[in-house]
Structure 1
């Protein structure tokens, strides 16, 4: 005699994600996206802080405000990892950290 409950009697958290109704799975995935977005925002803020400190140190040492060769390395890394739109994302981050040229 089986004592297993029918899947409809189990809480949704006990069901495999593939067994959830689409709207519940979408809600779960959106929660995951929200968590990713929060982490991305935290990392961008950290990146801006580090970039600002580098700019201050370069200026204090009599250097230029930015390094074009370094920016090209950053853009290439983003493009290699994420494709053409990755370069756009990298450029947005660079602009946000140093402003438009």
Structure 2
């Protein structure tokens, strides 16, 4: 019986890993779109941040996920402000360039 539980747990961990990969890809896509929108706003003389829109996003995440959802939304909006995340370049990941924003790159420090 413990073998069946181990297999189930292993399957569940594999599923979580798949979900994590999907979430990372979606975050990358979201970040790229946010940067594009910011660049368009700036090119038309607008501001780099739309506080009303960000507040709307924070509220949506808070309603859907509770108080921790607000923290997640804050992280996502920060990623959108900073620039695109390169594949393999999430904060805390080992190796290479992490962030690309405003045409510049930064290596790990």
Instruction: Please indicate the TM-score interval, normalised by the length of the shorter structure.
Output: 0.7 to 0.9
Listed as ranges, the gaps of 5+ residues in structure 1 are 1-19
Higher helix share: 1
| Pairs aligned (count) | 80
Give TM-score, length-normalised by structure 2: 0.71
Considering only aligned residues, what root-mean-square deviation do their CA atoms show, in Å? Answer: 1.0
The superposition leaves residues 7-63 of structure 1 with CA deviations (integer Å, 9 ceiling, x where unpaired) of: xxxxxxxxxxxxx71110000001100110010000000001000100100000000
> What does residue range 52-91 of structure 1 map to in structure 2 within 5 Å?
52-91=35-74
Aligned to 1:40: 23
Query: Which segments of structure 1 move beyond 6 Å, counting only runs of 4 or more?
Result: none
TM-score, scaled relative to structure 1: 0.77
| Unpaired segments ≥5 residues, structure 2 | 83-109
| The structure with more radius of gyration | 1
